[in-house]
Amino acid sequence: IINRPLVSLALVGALVSITPQQSHAAFFTTVIIPAIVGGIATGAAVGTVSGLLSWGLKQAEQANKAPDKPDKVWRIQA
C-alpha cells in the first residue's frame, strides 16, 4: 500500500520529462483518481465505524436500563 503512491509518482515524473501533454492525463489517472477513491473509501469506513459505535452505545444504554426495572418491581413487591 505504501509503495504504490511512490511508484505512481515515479511514473508521473518520468512521463512529465518525456511528454508534457500526456503527463496530465497520466497524473490524473495514477494519482488523482486513486486519491479520490481512497478518500471515499476512508470516509465510508469512518462513517461505518462511528455508526456502529453509536449503535453499540445505544444498545449498551438500553441493556443497562433493562435490569433496573425488575429490581424496582422486586423492591416494590418485597
For 17, the grid coordinates are 520529462
pLDDT in tens, the chain (78 residues): 556 666 676 766 665 565 555 556 777 778 878 888 888 888 888 888 888 888 888 888 877 765 555 555 555 555
Cβ-based neighbour number of residue 51 at 10 Å: 10
State pTM to two decimals: 0.39
pLDDT at 35: 84
End-to-end CA distance of the chain: give it in Å, rounded.
64
pLDDT at 59: 84
Give the angle subtended at the CA of 64 by the CAs of 50 and 67, to the nearest 5°: 155
